[in-house]
Amino acid sequence: MKQLIGFIPTQDKPNHHRVKNLTGDVITIENNIVEVEFSIIKSKKVDTIIVCYPLNECKDYFVSGDGVKRHGLNFREFCTRLQGLYVFKRGIEINRWELFISNIAISDILGRNSKYTTKDRPVQFNYEFKNN
């Protein structure tokens, strides 16, 4: 199944749901529109939202199976290696998908002379993965 890392498109529409730092399942690709389903866990309840993206902006955000690899890791492996840490650069939080797409290595984030700082997340996140 093809998946897409959520992102904010350059031309937002008033009724467009903004989604970031999530990976969702691609439902359809028609008429240059990509429809993606995201599962969000809120207060131990799983909610589903569907977001439509312009196809021409999706190229760098598609993942499937092993998916796109950066420094030998796919997106899920990259997130796992970060062990749920918040990552900051100059005091501003940087999302994991932004780090992954920007081709930042784990060693660049966690290294001794890193320009990034990290902070433990206060709550362990639960992720639910579907196998189709």
pLDDT digits (tens, 9 = 90+) for 71-101: 888 777 888 788 778 889 888 888 888 888 8
- Which domain range does residue 31 map to? 2-64
Residue 129 belongs to some domain of the structure: no
| Rounded-to-integer distance, Cα 14 and Cα 92, Å | 27
Q: Is residue 12 in a domain? A: yes
Domain count, the chain: 2
pLDDT at position 132 is 47
Helix, strand, coil % (nearest 5) of the chain? Answer: 20, 35, 45
Domain boundary among 34, 64, 94: 64
32 closest CA partner among 49, 9, 5, 63: 9
pLDDT digits (tens, 9 = 90+) for 34-58: 998 887 767 777 778 888 888 988 8
Percent of the residues in the chain that have a pLDDT greater than 90, as a whole number: 8
Are 41 and 83 within one domain? no
Residues 6+ apart with CB under 8 A from 109: 82, 87, 99, 116, 118
DSSP reduced 3-state for 114: coil
Let me know if residue 69 belongs to a domain.
no
* Together in a domain, 90 and 109: yes
| pTM of the predicted structure, to 2 decimals | 0.47
